[in-house]
Amino acid sequence: MATVTVEGFPVRTEFSYDLTHHMWVEELGGERVRVGMDALGLETSGTLAHLMMVEVGTEVARGEPFGSLEAEKYVGPLVAPLSGTVLAVNADAVASPSLVQSDPYGAGWMVELSASDLEGERSGLVSGDEIVTRFAQKVTEYRLEGVLAE
């Protein structure tokens, strides 16, 4: 498990990321993946007040909502980084959204999916050596846009 700090934000380099929607993907074996929100997405959303997830057994499509969040600076959908069937919802995170902020890459995971096209959709995610560079670019972009303070 390798966590690096990129522009002040923790990043797990063994995960893959959908940086547009600030979601990470951890491959658990086979087609099973765990999904959560990255630290930059959490920072730009503000303090989380409420999380809602779809039910176990729900089919989700990449780019479509698998839940929603209400936070200090953002209210809206949580967008699936991959298509698949929801196998598990993190009831602890739903009950206590602060868990997502305190441990976004661990106990704060959101859902587990059985990915329906992991090989095909993996190419739409950022992974490997590209993560640090692309994450840093996103932070710089947000600072230039005024989304993040310097």
Residue 26 lies in a domain: yes
Residue 144 lies in a domain: no
Q: Where in the sequence is the domain holding 96, given as residue range(s)? A: 15-129
Tell me: the pLDDT tens digits for 10-68?
Answer: 999 999 999 999 999 999 999 999 999 999 999 999 999 999 999 999 999 999 999 99
Residue 92's nearest CA partner among 114, 109, 75, 74 is 109
- Domain with 66 in it: what CATH number? 2.40.50.100
If pLDDT is split at 50, 70 and 90, which confidence band does 1 have?
low
Burial class (CB in 10 A: 0-12, 13-18, 19+), 147: middle
Residue 2 lies in a domain: no
The whole-model pTM stands at: 0.95
Q: Give the CA-trace dihedral at 58, 63, 67, 69, to 10 degrees.
A: 180
Query: What is the total count of domains within the chain?
Result: 1
Residue 112's nearest CA partner among 64, 80, 72 is 80
Residue 77 lies in a domain: yes
